[in-house]
Chain A
């Protein structure tokens, strides 16, 4: 079956399952925030605290050579944080709902998608805070900010793809969580969140483009801090990573869909 037809039938199925999707999102929200306003607040406070600690520590080292260092940090933390939260919740989404899909015939990717929604909303809230910081820090708002939707869209797809891969892996290997924690930690250091890659020579700088998260972070910084639209090839790279991961995830899911049952 061609990818296009595969996607089309998936979208069709998605429409039919809208009610289920809404109810699952509601459930995930209720569980996550326990019906409290403070619950919501925590998800904002966490990133802000990380940001302030990083700012406190690293401004000494990197703040002098990077303009608007707080915003620079914020961009990195925001995108990396969203990636981490989304993929982590995506990873356990299938396993946590094993009791359901082993008893009721539901499309399993719905659990992953609903888990992604709450992290996306978190991301949205933190994005607004980033803009507030931008205003305070005197960053010029331009029409180009609209283009931020592009890397966000790519990252959403990327996270869903990663979620598909990770949730399948987690069903098979329960220690995936620890391995993935190590992986994300290493990735954080490789994502140039608090430093600039300018310190490396030009060839080594290109190596950073092998890291999709860095690509998305850089897109954000280009628009917000430099006011420059990245090159078309950069756009292709951003979308390419998302599609690649999504396709790999889709294939694994398709192949393992009826096998997950045996791993419970």
Chain B
């Protein structure tokens, strides 16, 4: 109701002010160039088109066209300040203006309606897309959380129930497994939590300027806490790169990629992690020298459901969610993320756009 009221009010205001402006302009015009009613009609037609453009519905256009016709007749054609519809050719002017108004207002109204429909359709589409992503994620999460939880519950109860029968070494193995699974769960939870840092409506993140080398080193440090025996060869460009990003999220992406490289490459060869500086973006690379990724997995590896239909789903648990979260994070940063086989193993790399300003390491 209020919306309707305000839209009527808006239409009225636009119509009135449009006509008033046209009239004022026409007066000025006729003052300087008398006896030129053809141009005056054109001025009104221009005003009509503008009014139609900025109002909704047919009504404002039609009303203003009647008013305009009357105005031209009353104010600007001889006899002045008198209505006289018997002038030769006047009915033609009248019909012309009416026709122009009718056609223009029909066209613009149609256009506006179509634009609105398209916008609605887009919104609906992106909504379903989001809904689909959310459902996929939820499904993947429940599947992936259950596996380690089952193992934790099983292992701990077997420890408690058979404690007398187990040798010290066996106990150690059980607890080690519990710890591994718990760590894995923790990483999963942090992944999920990190998604909550991305704005739900706009899918944007809060960016601050961060130094690339600090993010990389922090990720490596955190990773080494969990995997003590791994070697990662890290290198960053010599110049200092400062890039706008959500540091916690990018750290999470790096950790996910590095962890995948450790867990899924089935090799103990050192992992390479390096950063490259390009003219308007920076790329981060994580390279392992292991078994690589099969072609059919590569196609939808970031979709979050790459485990579906996979026979050995338990052996690569969590890879799906971790990577789909990486994709979400990088997309929210307007970057790109990709995976490929480089011949001796797998490589994941993502890019982050630089901002317009980039400082070099000079003080």
**Same complex:** no
Which residues of B pack against A, CB within 8 Å?
none
